[in-house]
Chains A and B, each alone.
Chain A
Amino acid sequence: MTLLFRFLQLLSLLLLASAVTAEHTSNWAVLVSTSRFWFNYRHLANVLSLYRTVKRLGIPDSQIILMLPDDMACNPRNAFPGTVYSNADRAVDLYGDNIEVDYRGYEVTVENFIRLLTDRLDEDVPRSKRLGSDAGSNVLVYMTGHGGDQFLKFQDAEEIGAWDLADAFNQMWEKKRYHELLFMIDTCQANTMYTHFYSPNIVATGSSELDQSSYSHHADNDVGVAVIDRWTYYVLEFLETQVTSANSKLTLGDLFDSYDESKIHSQPGVRWDLFPGGEPEGRLRTVVDFFGNVQNVEVENANATDPGSLKEDLAEIARLVEKWQRRDEEYSAIFNISASQPSKKSQSSSVHLAPKKTVGPTRMTDESSWAKRLVGISVVGACTAIWVAGSYLGRSVA
Chain B
Amino acid sequence: MTTINGDQASPKASAATKSSTARVPPPETSEAVQTRFRVIAAFWAVIVLLGFPIWWKTTSIYRAHLPIQEMVDWDEGKICRPVFPLEIHVAAPAMQISESQHLLRTTQHSLDDFNEFAAHHLRLKLANDTSASNANGDQTAETEHEAAEERADIALTVRVLPQDDLTAPRSEIHADATQLDVFYPPNQVPLPSSSNPPLSAFIAQELQGLYSEEKATIAHILSGETAGSDSESISRRLRRSMKYADTYHLSFSLFTPGPVPSSWDIEAAVKEYLTPLLDAFAPISNFTVDTQVQLYATFSPMAPPPVYDEAETAWTLKKEDLSAFINAAEWPLNPSIGSGPTLNFVLYVPAPSQSPMLVKENRASSWIVPQWGGVSLLNPPLSEELSPSNPKHLTQESLRPAFMTFSHQLLTLLGTPATPSSLPLRLQTLIRVRAATLLLSASSTMGSLARLTESLPSIPIPATVASSVSTTLTHLGTTCSSLRDGRFAAALASARVAETEAERSFFEKSMVGQVYFPDEHKVAVYLPLLGPIGVPLIVGLLKEVKRLIAGRKARAGA
B328 touches A59 (CB 8 A): yes
On whether the beta carbons of A60 and B364 are closer than 8 Å, the reply is no
**A56 contact set on B, CB distance < 8 A:** 302
Q: Are A20 and B421 in contact (CB under 8 A)?
A: no
Q: Which residues of A contact B16 (CB under 8 A)?
A: none
Q: Quick check: is A369 within 8 A (CB to CB) of the other chain?
A: no
Q: How many residues of A contact B (CB 8 A)?
A: 71
User: Which chain B residues border A164 with CB–CB below 8 Å?
Assistant: 513-514, 516
Contact pattern, B 340-384, Cβ under 8 Å of A = 1, otherwise 0? 011000000000000000010111111111111000000000000
Q: Is the CB of B512 within 8 A of A128?
A: no
Q: Assess A110 versus B514: contact at CB under 8 Å? Given A56-B302, A132-B341, A317-B407.
A: yes
A58, A122, A303, A309: which contacts B509 (Cβ < 8 A)?
Answer: A122
A225 to chain B, nearest CB (A): 28
Interface residue? A324 (CB, 8 A)? yes
Query: What residue of chain B has the Cβ atom nearest to residue A297's Cβ?
Result: B322
Q: Is A123 on the interface with B (CB-CB < 8 A)?
A: yes
Expressed in whole angstroms, the Cα–Cα distance for A245 and B407 within the complex equals 33
| A98 touching B330 in the complex, CB below 8 Å, given contacts A20-B226, A120-B511, A320-B423 | yes
Question: Which residues of B, 219-259, contact A by the 8 Å Cβ criterion?
Answer: 226, 235, 239-240, 243
A60-73 CB contact bits vs B (8 Å, 1 = yes)? 11100000000000
Question: Which of B280, B404, B419 has its CB near the most chain A CB atoms (within 10 A)?
Answer: B404
Q: In the docked arrangement, what's the CA distance between A241 and B372, Å?
A: 30
A132 CB contacts on chain B under 8 angstroms: 341
Expressed in whole angstroms, the Cα–Cα distance for A114 and B513 within the complex equals 8
Among residues 442 to 457 in chain B, which have CB atoms less than 8 Å away from a CB atom of chain A?
Answer: 444-445, 448, 451-452, 455-456
Q: Is the CB of A297 within 8 A of B367?
A: yes
Nearest to A114 among chain B residues (CB) is B514
Complex Cα gap A42–B371 (Å): 36
Q: How far is the CA of A124 from the CA of B417 in the complex (A)?
A: 34
CB 8 Å contact bits of A298-339 with B (1 = contact, 0 = none) = 111111001111101111111111011001000000000000
Contact between chains at A175 and B370 (CB < 8 Å): no
CB neighbours (8 Å) of B176 from chain A are 319-320, 323
- Kindly provide the distance from the CB of B352 to the nearest chain A CB, expressed in whole angstroms: 23
* Cβ-defined contact, A58 with B276, below 8 A: no
- Return the contact of A293 from the options B235, B328, B341, B510 (Cβ within 8 A): B328
Q: Which residues of B contact A175 (CB under 8 A)?
A: 445, 448, 506
On whether the beta carbons of B421 and A297 are closer than 8 Å, the reply is: no
Contact B452 A174, beta carbon cutoff 8 Å: yes
Q: List residues of A (91-118) whose CB comes within 8 Å of B's CBs.
A: 98, 110-111, 114-115, 118
Per the bound structure, the CA–CA distance linking A122 and B508 in Å amounts to 9
Indicate if the CB atoms of B368 and A297 lie closer than 8 Å.
yes
Looking at B86-94, B95-103, B331-339, B487-495, the stretch in contact with chain A turns out to be B331-339
- B121 CB contacts on chain A under 8 angstroms: none
Residues A98 and B329 in contact, CB atoms below 8 Å apart: yes
A136 interfacial contact with B, CB 8 Å? yes
> Which of these, A60, A118, A123, A167, contacts B328 with CB under 8 Å?
A60
B405 within 8 A of A: yes
A308 in contact with B417 (CB, 8 Å)? yes
Pair B324/A300 contact, Cβ less than 8 Å: no
Q: Which residue of A lies closest to B320 (CB)?
A: A247
* In the assembled complex, A121 has its CB within 8 A of some CB on chain B: yes
Q: Tell me which residues across on chain B come within 8 A of A134, comparing CB atoms.
A: 243
What total count of A-B pairs have CB within 8 Å?
181
Interfacial residues of chain B within 308-330, with CB under 8 A of chain A in the complex: 319-320, 322-324, 326, 328-330
Give Cα distance in the complex from A315 to B422, angstroms: 10
Is residue B158 contacting chain A, with contact meaning CB distance below 8 A? no
> Are A307 and B509 closer than 8 Å at their CB atoms?
no
Q: State whether the Cβ of A170 lies closer than 8 Å to any Cβ in chain B.
A: yes
Q: A301-B362, A314-B408 are in contact. Are A320 and B322 (CB under 8 A)?
A: no
Instruction: Judge whether B277 is part of the interface by a CB distance below 8 angstroms.
Output: yes
Q: Residue B275 at the A interface, CB < 8 A?
A: yes
Task: Output the least CB separation between A178 and chain B (Å).
Answer: 14
CB of B175 closer than 8 Å to a CB of A: yes
How many angstroms from the CA of A9 to the CA of B235 in the assembled complex? 20
Q: How far is the CB of B191 from chain A (nearest CB, A)?
A: 36
Q: How far is the CA of A56 from the CA of B126 in the complex (A)?
A: 63
Q: Quick one: given A23-B239, A111-B514, A300-B368, are A320 and B509 in contact (CB under 8 Å)? A: no
CB of B411 closer than 8 Å to a CB of A: yes
A26 to B417, CA, bound (A): 22
Q: Check B361–A299 contact: CB distance below 8 A.
A: yes
**A20 to B368, alpha carbons, bound, how many Å?**
21
Q: Does A297 lie within 8 Å of B371, measured CB to CB? A: no
Q: Kindly provide the distance from the CB of B350 to the nearest chain A CB, expressed in whole angstroms.
A: 17
**CA of A26 to CA of B342, assembled, Å:** 14
A147 sits at the interface (CB 8 A): no
The answer to whether A238 has its CB under 8 Å from any CB of chain B is: no
Tell yes or no: B272 within 8 A of A by CB.
Answer: yes
Whether the Cβ atoms of B323 and A120 lie closer than 8 Å is no
A30-B367 Cα distance, complex, nearest whole Å: 29
Q: How far is the CA of A293 from the CA of B302 in the complex (A)?
A: 14
**Which A residues from 259 to 304 make CB contacts under 8 A with B?**
293, 295-303
B279 part of interface (Cβ distance < 8 Å): yes
Query: In angstroms, how far is the closest chain A Cβ from the Cβ of B312?
Result: 14
Contacts of A145 in B (CB 8 A): none
B235:A60 contact, CB within 8 angstroms? no
Q: Which residues of B contact A319 (CB under 8 A)?
A: 175-176, 423
What mask results when residues 139 to 150 of chain B are scored 1 for a CB within 8 Å of chain A, else 0?
000000000000
Give the residues in chain A near B512, CB-CB below 8 Å.
Answer: 111, 114-115, 118, 120
Q: Which residue of A lies closest to B448 (CB)?
A: A174
Instruction: List A residues at the B interface (Cβ < 8 Å).
Output: 16, 20, 23, 25-26, 55-56, 58-62, 98, 110-111, 114-115, 118-123, 126-128, 132, 134, 136, 160-161, 163-164, 167-168, 170-171, 174-176, 245-247, 293, 295-303, 306-310, 312-321, 323-324, 327
Q: List 7 A-B pairs, Cβ < 8 Å.
A: A55-B328, A60-B328, A174-B452, A297-B322, A299-B322, A300-B408, A315-B175
Supplied contacts A26-B371, A164-B516, A320-B423, 18 more A-B pairs, CB within 8 Å: A20-B226, A20-B235, A56-B302, A58-B323, A111-B514, A115-B512, A164-B514, A168-B513, A298-B240, A300-B368, A300-B408, A307-B418, A313-B411, A314-B405, A317-B277, A317-B407, A319-B175, A320-B276
**The 7 nearest A-B residue pairs measured at CB:** A308-B418, A60-B328, A295-B323, A62-B334, A324-B276, A127-B336, A313-B408
